[in-house]
Amino acid sequence: MGMSEGDTFWVSLSEKFFGLLLAVIGALFLYFTLTSTAALGGFTGLFGFLGVVILLIGLFLLIVRPPE
């Protein structure tokens, strides 16, 4: 059961949209983590790591191409 041209377009578009959304959320997560290190205390490293992971997943979704 292959995908038609229209299906491929929508899959690609949704992949780029979710990639952009995750990249923005990851960047905001990192920004607020790094600007409130006093309130986070010992959890700054954990939330910084999670922010980087979310940002990298978003960038990966923006860069990768779906199979034709």
Domain count, the chain: 1
Q: How many CB atoms lie within 10 A of CB 54?
A: 19
| pTM for the full predicted model | 0.81
Domain that holds residue 20: 5-63
CA-nearest of 67, 60, 46 to 18 is: 60
Q: Tell me: pLDDT of 2 over 90.
A: no
Indicate whether 68 belongs to any domain. Answer: no
Name which of 30-34, 45-49, 56-60, 61-65 the model is least confident about. 61-65
Q: For residue 47, give both structure tokens.
A: 């939330």
Of the pLDDT bands very low, low, confident and very high (cuts 50, 70, 90), residue 60 is very high
Between CA 26 and CA 47 the distance in angstroms is 10
Which 3 state secondary structure label does DSSP give 3? coil
Indicate whether 14 belongs to any domain. Answer: yes
Q: Tell me: pLDDT of 68 over 70.
A: no
